Chain A
Amino acid sequence: MQSLALGWRLLSRAIVSGIHNEFQLKPRAKVKGPVQFVTGCSGFSKSVSKTPNFKNWSFGDDAYFVAKNTSYDVIGVADGVGGWRNYGIDPAAFPRTLMNICERVVVEDRLNLSSPVKVIEASYQELLEQKTPLIGSSTACIVALNREERRVYSANLGDSGFLIIRDGEVVHRSEEQQHYFNTPFQLAVAPPSQQGLVLSDSPSMADSSSFPVEEGDVIMLGTDGLFDNLSEDMLLRHISQLQDPQPESVQQTASCIAEEAHLLSFDENYLSPFALSAIDMGIDFIGGKPDDITVVIAKITSFSDSI
């Protein structure tokens, strides 16, 4: 009798726990919310004396932009090719106009930014639609964050580039595009006399990539003036000091990085990354590389944490 009661108790307990398990809610998979960029920009012109006459978004012959539309946060840089100065052309005009047009294209929101190459293509075409006869060339690198998807899409033409840094290490980087040493891929509009004689790469030559991002990731976008003077280790050290996603802190980090790069670029005894690759090519060179420096830091934070 007792065993029967025990058996019954066990059975009923099993049934009840079984029913209980059926109705127990499975823990829901946590849906990750949208993210956004918090950006800081800094840089130095190579020639200290020149004061830029453009209101914003340029350092020397470098230019950059920061923009957003309904789905994307976008940053971009363009490095103007200085050789045009010899032809009496201001090398800064082309990259500045290009970046301004990119900003317009992003804000007008007519293109699908999951393919930022299209932004470069569209901006290059719009550049040709200007009444002003623009001449010059530059690299172009654009990184677009889809806030809902938590994914960055990038397009890079030339030797500007970006790193994605997570937990103190580089998890993704752009590919440099060069024809030969110190001659990057570049978008160009040549003067009529030089048609066909000037290096001019099509926007479709740009390298594309996409990468998923997390809160806390840092994207560092810069021109070659930055990466030629600071090694990745030095950059990681700066980023590790960026603790919070406040705009002031991000801006501070960007300024520190730009300043160190600027100082080292004039150091004649410093074994810069540029010197190292020169030596690799068999060129006997030591010291920093004086160049225009532009750095754009974008820290990924949750969208709701907007300040």
Chain B
Amino acid sequence: MADNAIARDKITETNKPGTTSKAVLISRFSKEVTDFSSQYGSETSISYTVSNLAGRSNIFPAYGDFTQAAVFRTYGPWWKNVTSSPRKFKRTPPNFISDDYVELSFDLDVYPCKIEVWETYNPGSVVRILACDTASGTDVDDGRVRWQVLWEGQPEKCPDKSRIFSPTLREPLFKTSLIRLELCSTLCHYYTELDCVCMYGTLNPCSDMQAILKQAPTFEVKDCSDADEIVSQTLKYINTLSVSSHQESLDENKDPGHLPRETTDVKQEQVTPTEVTNDETFFEEDPEMGNGYFDDLPDEVIQLILSYLDVPALCVASRACMLMKKHCYDTLQYTELNLQPHWPQINNHTLQCLKSRCHHLQQLNLSWCGGNRGIMQSMTFGNFMKECGSELNTLYLANCKFVDSEVLRLLSEYCPKLADLDLQSCMGLDGIGLIHLTKLKGLKRLNLYRTHVDIHSLIAIIRTSPNLECLNLGSCSRINNFDEVAIELSKHCKKLKSLDFWRSRTITDVGLRALAYNCPDLEELDLGWCPELRSGSCCYLDLVDRCHKIKKLYLTANRTVCDDDLNAIASNCPDLEQLDILGTRQVSEESVLRILQSCPRMIMFDVSFCFSIEHEVVNEWSRIFPNCSIKKSFQQ
């Protein structure tokens, strides 16, 4: 099994090419979790938190829902088609499906030849494995930190048992001690949970990986589908499209170096917009030569065709000829810009190059971009917003390390129409920065999950945002009085439809009642892990009595939820689609059944860890109500 031994004495190196070096396989569990997108547990806990992924195995081969596992905030489709779901951007490459990520550091740089992810509940969610080249350092001007995709694939539906997932990796280009996993748990029946990660590698680049891998114990090896191969073929094809038979002689005279060289690199690294957007390298064109049939097509049709390309492809296509450049640089192609799938390539330079094309930008997704190594600076971002932010209504900046007070000040100054803002996990923000949001009068959707927002800034923002419809305050651990927040919301944000109070420790029936009385449009309400809400105060009864439009209600780990509450929900919430009552001893099977019978639209019902509800009964109900996915988690 994997253990942390280095066989120092056994390493023999030969520098002669052609000889097989007797490199030894080194294996390591990860040392530390350095970054992640979200987690189930609370910020200071060791239960269900992503930090559990570091270190040795604690659970395997047991299978079940254990506190020592690493668990992310969401799973499955339950957050995807609701009021609070983020906008789906056009031009998202089909192979980008990641919902969450986690970055792990190891204590040794190796050329990885095998990476094992030990999954102990609902496996099958790992979709990408990347390695970071930290040794090459960062160029502060260029901001170049290399990431290589070692493997990517589709999520799997797996049998209910623990497994060690170890797909075949591509040959590594560099040594690494920083690995990133990206996950998509859409197919998982319940939360996916991970135990640990083990990396096998060599200190020197090894030509014969197969021989090396024979030293490693194999559990399950998965073949990767080479999605990049398809992309590169398509790009090659696109490049040929812009050159017609009339152009052939023109091409023969050209310096072959002007042809996009990135196509060969696409397999290893995705195309960077910067490399193809440098205006100075455009070749001279003979104006008498036409563009073949493309000259006959109306502009709108060309624009429609180009609207199917993702951003890197659009940039590559722009290099074909002046006509293509004109269309590919058209600002109408850049009203909606999704840069999240290309996060490894996005840096200061990228934004600068894109600036000229984004004057009509309305929706921008920069989530996960900017890394944490000075790759993106607030000044560059500010300049971009100054030029392009006037029409911006949607901006996603989840997990963006460069977001600080200055960035928010620039947003408040240059993006007056901003209505949908996602700042989740932007740890660089605090009250001083967030107060700038009070200048944005049109805010409709705001995501502050896991930020350090303080109560004063939050209340100030609430007071200036009467149009607020969706607000996410999950795991905002610096807020010490959620009742006050709820009361302010009830006074100023009457249009509220979706509210996420996940882990709001201090909310009581007072705050909940204020919301119930004043926000009748509430459809989505997450009150998970709020221990101060007591059913005995009748706050749940008041809630459903007033808010009949509720579609999604999460009362996770509220130990006081009882039959009376369920009966009231059954009577008052005909549109109910999702209900979570995990962990209460007080509900009986009858009241659960009444909900299933009274709410025909139910698609998800979580009764995990409800002691009176037996697994057999749940199976029975699943047969009778096939449209409702009933969850009953367990520890083996």
Taking beta carbons and an 8 Å cutoff, which residues of A are in contact with B? 104-105, 108, 110, 125-126, 128-133, 135, 191-192, 195
Given A104-B68, A105-B46, A192-B559, A131-B536 contact (CB < 8 Å)? no
The answer on a CB contact under 8 Å between B584 and A131 is no
Given A104-B68, A192-B534, A131-B582 contact (CB < 8 Å)? yes
Q: How far is the CB of A25 from chain B (nearest CB, A)?
A: 40
In the bound assembly, the distance between CA atoms of A108 and B54 in angstroms comes to 11
The answer on a CB contact under 8 Å between A129 and B611 is no
In the bound assembly, the distance between CA atoms of A191 and B561 in angstroms comes to 12
Residues of chain B within 8 A (CB-CB) of A195 are 534
User: Is B42's beta carbon under 8 Å from chain A?
Assistant: yes
Given A104-B68, A126-B47, A192-B536, A132-B583 contact (CB < 8 Å)? yes
The 5 A-B residue pairs with the shortest CB-CB distance in the complex, in nearest-first order: A129-B47, A192-B560, A133-B583, A129-B45, A131-B609
Residues of chain B within 8 A (CB-CB) of A132 are 583, 609, 635
The answer on a CB contact under 8 Å between A104 and B46 is yes
User: Is B232's beta carbon under 8 Å from chain A?
Assistant: no
In the bound assembly, the distance between CA atoms of A125 and B609 in angstroms comes to 19
Q: How far is the CB of B561 from chain A (nearest CB, A)?
A: 9
User: Is B244's beta carbon under 8 Å from chain A?
Assistant: no
The answer on a CB contact under 8 Å between B46 and A191 is no
Interface centre among A110, A131, A133, A191 (most CB of B within 10 A): A131
Residue in A closest to B529 when the chains form the complex, CB atoms? A129
Residues of chain A within 8 A (CB-CB) of B560 are 192
Residues of chain A within 8 A (CB-CB) of B588 are none
Q: How far is the CB of B269 from chain A (nearest CB, A)?
A: 38
Residue in B closest to A105 when the chains form the complex, CB atoms? B46
Residue in B closest to A97 when the chains form the complex, CB atoms? B67
Residue in B closest to A108 when the chains form the complex, CB atoms? B46
Residues of chain A within 8 A (CB-CB) of B633 are 131
The answer on a CB contact under 8 Å between B42 and A133 is no
The answer on a CB contact under 8 Å between B582 and A125 is no
Residue in A closest to B40 when the chains form the complex, CB atoms? A131
Interface of B, secondary structure class, is loop
Q: How far is the CB of B401 from chain A (nearest CB, A)?
A: 24
User: Is B586's beta carbon under 8 Å from chain A?
Assistant: yes
Residues of chain B within 8 A (CB-CB) of A133 are 557, 559, 583-585, 609, 611
Residues of chain A within 8 A (CB-CB) of B611 are 133
Subset of 10 A-B contacts with CB under 8 Å: A125-B45, A126-B47, A126-B67, A129-B42, A129-B45, A129-B48, A131-B609, A133-B611, A192-B535, A192-B586
Interface bits B532-568 vs A (CB < 8 Å: 1, else 0): 0011100000000000000000000101101000000
Q: How far is the CB of B109 from chain A (nearest CB, A)?
A: 24
User: Is B65's beta carbon under 8 Å from chain A?
Assistant: yes
The answer on a CB contact under 8 Å between A129 and B531 is no
Residues of chain A within 8 A (CB-CB) of B48 are 129, 131
Residues of chain B within 8 A (CB-CB) of A130 are 47, 67
User: Is B608's beta carbon under 8 Å from chain A?
Assistant: yes
The answer on a CB contact under 8 Å between A129 and B67 is yes
Residue in A closest to B55 when the chains form the complex, CB atoms? A108
User: Is B41's beta carbon under 8 Å from chain A?
Assistant: yes
| 8 A Cβ contacts from B276-307 to A | none
Q: How far is the CB of B266 from chain A (nearest CB, A)?
A: 43
Q: How far is the CB of B628 from chain A (nearest CB, A)?
A: 21
Residues of chain A within 8 A (CB-CB) of B585 are 133, 135, 191
Residue in A closest to B536 when the chains form the complex, CB atoms? A192
Interface bits B26-44 vs A (CB < 8 Å: 1, else 0): 0000000000000001100
Interface bits B93-121 vs A (CB < 8 Å: 1, else 0): 00000000000000000000000000000
Residues of chain A within 8 A (CB-CB) of B46 are 104-105, 108, 110, 126
Extra contacts besides A130-B67, A192-B535 (17): CB < 8 Å: A104-B46, A104-B68, A108-B46, A125-B45, A126-B46, A126-B47, A126-B67, A131-B48, A131-B65, A131-B557, A131-B582, A131-B583, A131-B608, A132-B609, A192-B559, A192-B560, A192-B562
In the bound assembly, the distance between CA atoms of A301 and B258 in angstroms comes to 76
In the bound assembly, the distance between CA atoms of A133 and B583 in angstroms comes to 5
In the bound assembly, the distance between CA atoms of A144 and B635 in angstroms comes to 31
In the bound assembly, the distance between CA atoms of A135 and B585 in angstroms comes to 10
Q: How far is the CB of B41 from chain A (nearest CB, A)?
A: 7
Q: How far is the CB of A215 from chain B (nearest CB, A)?
A: 32
In the bound assembly, the distance between CA atoms of A105 and B48 in angstroms comes to 14
Residues of chain A within 8 A (CB-CB) of B42 are 129
Residue in A closest to B557 when the chains form the complex, CB atoms? A131
Q: How far is the CB of A250 from chain B (nearest CB, A)?
A: 28
In the bound assembly, the distance between CA atoms of A129 and B41 in angstroms comes to 8
Residues of chain B within 8 A (CB-CB) of A110 are 46
Q: How far is the CB of B262 from chain A (nearest CB, A)?
A: 46
In the bound assembly, the distance between CA atoms of A126 and B635 in angstroms comes to 17
In the bound assembly, the distance between CA atoms of A104 and B47 in angstroms comes to 10
In the bound assembly, the distance between CA atoms of A132 and B531 in angstroms comes to 14
Residues of chain A within 8 A (CB-CB) of B582 are 131
Residues of chain B within 8 A (CB-CB) of A129 are 41-42, 45, 47-48, 67
Interface bits B508-544 vs A (CB < 8 Å: 1, else 0): 0000000000000000000000010011100000000
Q: How far is the CB of A112 from chain B (nearest CB, A)?
A: 15
Residue in A closest to B47 when the chains form the complex, CB atoms? A129
Residues of chain B within 8 A (CB-CB) of A191 are 559, 585
In the bound assembly, the distance between CA atoms of A195 and B41 in angstroms comes to 25
Residues of chain A within 8 A (CB-CB) of B67 are 126, 129-131
Interface bits B441-483 vs A (CB < 8 Å: 1, else 0): 0000000000000000000000000000000000000000000
Residue in A closest to B584 when the chains form the complex, CB atoms? A133
Q: How far is the CB of B185 from chain A (nearest CB, A)?
A: 18
Residues of chain B within 8 A (CB-CB) of A128 are 531
In the bound assembly, the distance between CA atoms of A95 and B104 in angstroms comes to 34
Residues of chain A within 8 A (CB-CB) of B635 are 132
Q: How far is the CB of B377 from chain A (nearest CB, A)?
A: 33
Residue in A closest to B44 when the chains form the complex, CB atoms? A125
In the bound assembly, the distance between CA atoms of A125 and B582 in angstroms comes to 19
Interface bits B65-92 vs A (CB < 8 Å: 1, else 0): 1011000000000000000000000000
In the bound assembly, the distance between CA atoms of A195 and B533 in angstroms comes to 13
In the bound assembly, the distance between CA atoms of A260 and B43 in angstroms comes to 47
In the bound assembly, the distance between CA atoms of A100 and B588 in angstroms comes to 30
In the bound assembly, the distance between CA atoms of A105 and B41 in angstroms comes to 15
Q: How far is the CB of A211 from chain B (nearest CB, A)?
A: 29
In the bound assembly, the distance between CA atoms of A129 and B559 in angstroms comes to 12
Q: How far is the CB of A85 from chain B (nearest CB, A)?
A: 16
Residues of chain A within 8 A (CB-CB) of B608 are 131
Residue in B closest to A125 when the chains form the complex, CB atoms? B45
Residue in A closest to B586 when the chains form the complex, CB atoms? A192
In the bound assembly, the distance between CA atoms of A132 and B559 in angstroms comes to 10
Residues of chain A within 8 A (CB-CB) of B41 are 129
Q: How far is the CB of A31 from chain B (nearest CB, A)?
A: 31
In the bound assembly, the distance between CA atoms of A105 and B531 in angstroms comes to 23
Residues of chain A within 8 A (CB-CB) of B45 are 125-126, 129
Q: How far is the CB of A190 from chain B (nearest CB, A)?
A: 10
Q: How far is the CB of B265 from chain A (nearest CB, A)?
A: 43
Residues of chain B within 8 A (CB-CB) of A192 are 534-536, 559-560, 562, 586
In the bound assembly, the distance between CA atoms of A255 and B60 in angstroms comes to 33
In the bound assembly, the distance between CA atoms of A126 and B66 in angstroms comes to 13
Q: How far is the CB of A195 from chain B (nearest CB, A)?
A: 8
| 8 A Cβ contacts from B411-446 to A | none
In the bound assembly, the distance between CA atoms of A133 and B609 in angstroms comes to 7
In the bound assembly, the distance between CA atoms of A108 and B535 in angstroms comes to 36
In the bound assembly, the distance between CA atoms of A132 and B610 in angstroms comes to 8
Residue in B closest to A129 when the chains form the complex, CB atoms? B47
In the bound assembly, the distance between CA atoms of A132 and B65 in angstroms comes to 10
In the bound assembly, the distance between CA atoms of A188 and B47 in angstroms comes to 19
Q: How far is the CB of B111 from chain A (nearest CB, A)?
A: 30
Interface bits B570-603 vs A (CB < 8 Å: 1, else 0): 0000000000001111100000000000000000
Interface bits B231-267 vs A (CB < 8 Å: 1, else 0): 0000000000000000000000000000000000000
Residues of chain A within 8 A (CB-CB) of B583 are 131-133
In the bound assembly, the distance between CA atoms of A195 and B67 in angstroms comes to 25
Q: How far is the CB of B336 from chain A (nearest CB, A)?
A: 40
